[in-house]
Amino acid sequence: MRGYYIGHLGKYLPGKAWALLLRAAQVRPAGVSLGLATLTAFYEVLTTMAAGSLLAACLFAVFGEGAGPGLTTDALHSLLWLEAPPEGVGRGTAVMLALLLASATGLPLLPALFNRVAQRLTLPGREEGAPVPRIGLGQLAEGLVLTSVGWALLGLALLAALEGVGAGWRCRGRCSAG
């Protein structure tokens, strides 16, 4: 637990590597190899990203704008530069993009692939015959659900903050903060 929370402090230092190094340093005295500690941290990051993408796909499907325009090259260019496309993005396009992101971050989490990679990456620092913890589909599903709940709570906190400063959710990006 200590390694998990101290690892979060590393997120505020330049580079993601600090969070991984702090977490690994905290769990080494407990007998966890550096490779396994790093792999665990990557698994957590990918789970967080996949859960956020899946939650976004669900929210876009339910609350997204109507049909709207498809994904034009201008819209794609705007999205890549983290700008809102002038003509907007339709519900179907938003869902598709979120599912594409979920696939990219979720495929490495699948137990068949992840367990094989974990076995190979932890081999150099592992004692002969020592087992590597294996991830199952149930654990992956549990992680995705719990992390999605965390994302939803963060979204509600943002909504409360926006309501608190008078920029309520009804603005949908069209209101000024003043």
Whether the pLDDT of residue 1 is over 90: the answer is no
Question: What is the pLDDT confidence band of residue 105, given thresholds at 50, 70 and 90?
Answer: very high
Question: What is the pLDDT confidence band of residue 177, given thresholds at 50, 70 and 90?
Answer: very low
The pLDDT of residue 65: 73
Name the DSSP class of 84. -
The percentage of residues in the chain with a pLDDT greater than 90, rounded to a whole number, is 30
Long-range CB contacts (within 8 A, 24+) of 99-105: 99/53, 99/54, 99/57, 101/49, 101/53, 101/56, 102/50, 102/53, 102/54, 102/57, 105/46, 105/49, 105/50, 105/53
Q: Give the side-chain half-sphere CA count within 13 A for 109.
A: 25
CB atoms within 10 A of CB 47: 22
Distances (CA, A) of 69 to 46, 85, 93, 99, 178: 30, 10, 8, 18, 30
Whether the pLDDT of residue 52 is over 50: the answer is yes
Q: Are 143 and 114 in contact (CB under 8 A)?
A: no
Question: What is the pLDDT confidence band of residue 178, given thresholds at 50, 70 and 90?
Answer: very low
Question: What is the pLDDT confidence band of residue 68, given thresholds at 50, 70 and 90?
Answer: low
Q: Are 101 and 51 in contact (CB under 8 A)?
A: no
Largest CA distance in the chain: 65
